[in-house]
Amino acid sequence: MEILGIDIGGSGIKGAIVDIEKGEFVEDRLRIPTPQPAKPEPVAEVVAEISRHFEWTGPIGCTFPAVVKHGVTLTAANVDDEWIGTDAKSLIEQHTGNPVKVLNDGDAAGIAEMKFGAGKDRDGLVIILTLGTGIGSAFFMNGILIPNTEFGHLKIRGKDAENRASDRIRQEKGYSWEKWGKKLSEYFQYVEFLFTPDLFIVGGGVSKKYEKYFPHIYCNTEIVPAQLRNDAGIVGAAMAAKDLKL
């Protein structure tokens, strides 16, 4: 079964048609820079542009960097505050003419990673953390998703964790891999203290460079890199839309 998955991020909006039985792209993904400011109408139009690019008619799964309940975005991380309280599902459906499932970006990445990646066949408490413009998260107990955790907004010494330890901060501050690893250690140790997980999976584009910073992260929980890396959000979004009807 093929479904269009779209991943809305603070810097880019990416989409691809996904074979959800294999967890693979059917063809190359398309990436378009996120409009700035990232207000609802311009972002929805980019989603529609991606849909038109693939000449898509059918269900669309769409991630969003926010708490999402029943298609409504209740927060806004790294996008415009106008998204707070927006019926994102209806807005994107109006722009694309297709049925849409909207879900938290970290949750989407987690769904894909648990099915096809590093979380496959792993029981217990698994926490996926995606390091990018912010820090996304997904929380699975024995394979069951607990949605909208948003662990990137846990407070570390009075500041959101993603404003101390995201990949964006690493680049902006010019941190060495070792120094960034120390920032991540502080964060991982705090999450570990709160939840005592069985496994951390680290995703996002920077996960492909895990060998540079994993040696500098110190905590007791097993840490592994995501296998789907930066494609997990698109794959998971498509998977989440499988039950939508035309």
Mean pLDDT, to the nearest integer, of 79-89?
96
Distance CA(208)–CA(225), nearest Å, equals 8
Mean pLDDT, to the nearest integer, of 124-136?
94
pLDDT tens, 194-245?
999 999 999 988 999 999 999 999 999 999 999 998 899 999 999 999 988 7
pTM summary value: 0.92
Do 150 and 86 fall within a single domain? no
Do 97 and 133 fall within a single domain? no
112 assigned to some structural domain: no
pLDDT tens, 157-197?
999 999 999 999 999 999 999 999 999 999 999 999 999 99
116 assigned to some structural domain: no
188 assigned to some structural domain: yes
The per-residue pLDDT for 204 is 87
**DSSP assignment letter at 136:** E
The per-residue pLDDT for 226 is 95
180 assigned to some structural domain: yes
Do 177 and 213 fall within a single domain? yes
113 assigned to some structural domain: no
Do 138 and 236 fall within a single domain? no
Domain hosting residue 217, numbered range: 121-227
**DSSP assignment letter at 177:** H
3-class secondary-structure state, position 87: strand
Burial string for 169-200 (b: 16+ CB within 10 Å, else e) reads bbeeeebeeeebbebbbbbbebbeeeeebebb
Do 74 and 137 fall within a single domain? no
Q: Say how far residue 149 (Cα) sits from the centre of its chain.
A: 12
CATH number, domain at 211?
A: 3.30.420.40
Do 187 and 236 fall within a single domain? no
Do 169 and 236 fall within a single domain? no
115 assigned to some structural domain: no
CA atoms in the 13 A half-sphere facing the CB of 240:
32
Do 218 and 126 fall within a single domain? yes
Do 46 and 125 fall within a single domain? no
245 assigned to some structural domain: no
Do 135 and 165 fall within a single domain? yes
114 assigned to some structural domain: no
Number of domains in the chain: 2
Q: Which of 100, 87, 83, 102 is nearest to 43 (CA)?
A: 83
Q: Which of 24, 32, 72, 70 is nearest to 51 (CA)?
A: 32
Do 222 and 236 fall within a single domain? no
Do 45 and 132 fall within a single domain? no
